[in-house]
Amino acid sequence: MRTRKLTAAFGVAAATAGLVLLPSTAHAVQLVPCSENALVNAINAANLVGGDDLVLSPFCTYTLTTAHGTGVNGPSGLPPITTPIRLTGLGTDIARDPSAPAFRIAEVRGPGVFPATAGSLTLNAVTLRGGEGAAEEVGGGIGNFGGAVVLDASTLRNNSAEDGGGLYNDTGSATLIGSTVVGNIATDANGGGGIYDNSGPVTLIASFVRGNSPDNCAPSGSIPFCTV
DSSP 8-state class, residue 54: E
Answer whether residue 191 shows pLDDT above 50.
yes
Per-residue pLDDT, 30: 73
Task: With cut-offs at 50, 70 and 90, classify the pLDDT of residue 123.
Answer: very high
The CA distance from 152 to 171, in Å, is 21
Mean pLDDT taken over the chain: 90
Average pLDDT over residues 81-95: 98
Answer whether residue 173 shows pLDDT above 80.
yes
The CA distance from 97 to 65, in Å, is 5
Asked if 16 and 210 touch (Cβ cutoff 8 Å), the reply is no
Per-residue pLDDT, 28: 64
Torsion over CA: 187, 66, 89, 123 (sign): positive
Asked if 1 and 23 touch (Cβ cutoff 8 Å), the reply is no
Residue-wise pLDDT tens digits, 2-38: 444 443 333 333 333 333 333 444 456 779 999 999 9
Per-residue pLDDT, 15: 32
Q: What are phi and psi of 46, to 5 degrees?
A: -65, -40
What is the CA 127 to chain-centroid distance, rounded? Answer: 11
Q: What are phi and psi of 173, to 5 degrees?
A: -135, 150
Strands (E), 59-218: 61-64, 84-96, 106-109, 120-129, 142-145, 148-152, 155-157, 160-161, 167-170, 173-177, 180-182, 185-186, 195-199, 202-205, 208-210, 217-218
Per-residue pLDDT, 12: 30
pTM beyond 0.75: the answer is yes
The CA distance from 159 to 192, in Å, is 12
Answer whether residue 156 shows pLDDT above 80.
yes
Per-residue pLDDT, 5: 40
Task: With cut-offs at 50, 70 and 90, classify the pLDDT of residue 167.
Answer: very high
Average pLDDT over residues 80-90: 98
Residue-wise pLDDT tens digits, 61-78: 999 999 999 988 999 999
Cα Rg, the chain, nearest whole Å: 15
Average pLDDT over residues 103-122: 97
Average pLDDT over residues 195-208: 97
**String of DSSP letters for 74-118:** --BSSPPB-SEEEEEEEEEEEEE-TTSPP-BSEEEE-TTT-TT--
Per-residue pLDDT, 169: 98
What percent of the chain is modeled with pLDDT above 90? Answer: 85
Average pLDDT over residues 86-110: 98
